[in-house]
Amino acid sequence: MILDCAIIGGGPAGLTAGLYTTRGGLENVTMFEKGMPGGQITNSSEIENYPGVTGEISGMDLMMPWPEQCQRFGLKHEMVEVTRVSKDGDIFTIHKNDGTTTQAHSVIIGTGSRPRRVGFAGEDELFGKGVSTCATCDGFFYKGKEVAVIGGGDTALEEALYLAKICSKVYLVHRRDAFRAAPNTVERLKNTENIELVLNSSPDEVYGDAMGVTGLRVKNKNGELRDIEVPGVFTFVGNDINNQTLIQEDGSFLCDMNDQGQVIVDISMSTSVAGLYATGDMRIAAPKQVVSAAGDGAVAALQVISYVDELLH
Ligand code: FAD
Ligand code: NAP
């Protein structure tokens, strides 16, 4: 059987594409997601800018009902990692890490992004032993203790605020003295008593013993070193695009990309390849928001419905 549409990735973009394709009448639609559906927002302790959702809600709570809503309209879900998407004539082939393949008339890709590593000494060696990229997952281990947070964007500041409620003290280490985060978040940060700002400073080395991290050494712009004795270091320095599935056997990309590895799309989420649509954080000029990723999924799905109809009739 050839699928009407294969959806790669089950974050806000993929799930919304699943809802709109199936509810819009396509019968054979499968979403390929390597983990639990929901995407990276499920790592966020709090989301307060999804329209219509008020009150304190975690990313996990927000995303919980989305898969069930899609499945009610017939979306199928395969929990598997897609290794490559290729196209021969009008047919796409989805290559999976269990060695099997699936064919499809159209593809909506929304594989999002992943946390970037900062690149300081000890970061990789102590990852998972005190170095973390997820406050919701690991914050509780440091209840009543001191931790350090690296970064100056929305994620770093929001997660520092979250950790400040659990931990006795949070050192916010940022390489500049101005923040990328939204002004009201910066204001909240500055008004939080148990957050110390360590500005114009970058991590130099994280060190520890057999039990895990014991401290972080930071270097300021004058080259002065400071040791911060903490058992936990949380890094939030941005994301890299998950575009590996678009890489072909000869190393080229299936469709046009920009120099930052983002997929080039037009306003209908169409890529340079007919029948292939890219959505959410992985596309050019993505606002990197749940609401915009969901919007992209809906736009792409409506395009797919017309594309498949024209292709088959
Ligand atoms: P993602 O959410 O990244 O989902 C992609 C999915 O694809 C993942 O589930 C992944 O497992 C899957 N996948 C990847 N590769 C493969 C593969 N090869 N095969 C199969 N599956 C694959 N946005 C807001 O609007 N408000 C906020 O308050 C907010 N807070 C945030 C806090 C944090 C800590 C983070 C990290 C992000 C936050 N964001 C927030 C941004 C928001 O989470 C993203 O913009 C949004 O999740 C992007 O959705 P997406 O569907 O494009 O990708
Ligand atoms: P980001 O906005 O790219 O910020 C990354 C931060 O890490 C920057 O402050 C950057 O410093 C710093 N950094 C990068 N590389 C570094 C290095 N090697 N060493 C030290 N510091 C380094 O990433 P993000 O905060 O994850 O946000 C990603 C996107 O999601 C953004 O568009 C953001 O607005 C969005 N988001 C939105 C919300 C929300 O709406 N509430 C919440 C979370 C995320 P410089 O500032 O000096 O470059």
**pTM score of the predicted model:** 0.84
Establish whether residue 156 lines the binding site of ligand 2, counting it when its CB lies within 6 angstroms of any ligand atom.
Answer: yes
Domain 2-115+239-312: which CATH number of 3.50.50.60, 3.40.50.720, 3.30.110.30, 3.90.550.10: 3.50.50.60
Question: Are the beta carbons of 57 and 41 closer than 8 angstroms?
Answer: no
Distance CA 203, CA 219 (A): 6
Nearest residue (CA) to ligand 2, atom 15: 237
Distance CA 165, CA 144 (A): 9
pLDDT of residue 136: 81
- List residues near ligand 1 (CB under 6 A): 8-14, 32-35, 39-41, 43-44, 47, 49, 81-82, 110-113, 155, 242, 245, 280-281, 288-291, 293
Which class would CATH give 131-235? alpha beta
CB atoms within 10 A of CB 19: 23
For residue 56, the 8-state DSSP code is S
255 is catalytic: no
pLDDT of residue 47: 85
Rounded-to-10 torsion of CA 36, 37, 43, 48: -150
Question: Are the beta carbons of 84 and 97 closer than 8 angstroms?
Answer: no
Strand partners, 88: 91
Pair of tokens at residue 87:
């196209």
pLDDT of residue 186: 98
Same fold across 2-115+239-312 and 131-235: yes
Distance CA 11, CA 279 (A): 10
Q: Which ligand is nearest to the CA of 155?
A: 2
Domain boundary assignment for the chain: 2-115+239-312, 131-235
Establish whether residue 149 lines the binding site of ligand 2, counting it when its CB lies within 6 angstroms of any ligand atom.
Answer: no
Cα dihedral across residues 126, 124, 80, 286: positive or negative: positive
134 is catalytic: yes
pLDDT digit string (tens) for the chain, length 313 residues: 999 999 999 999 999 999 999 999 999 999 999 999 999 999 887 788 899 999 888 999 999 999 999 999 999 999 999 999 999 999 999 999 999 999 999 999 999 998 899 999 999 999 989 999 988 878 999 999 999 999 999 999 999 999 999 999 999 999 999 999 999 999 999 999 999 999 999 999 999 998 899 999 999 999 999 999 999 999 999 989 999 999 999 999 999 999 989 999 999 999 999 999 999 999 999 988 899 999 999 999 999 999 999 999 8
Distance CA 132, CA 135 (A): 7
Map tokens 């809503």 to a residue. 69
Distance 271 CA to ligand 2 centre (A): 27
Residue 247, phi then psi, degrees to nearest 5? -80, 130
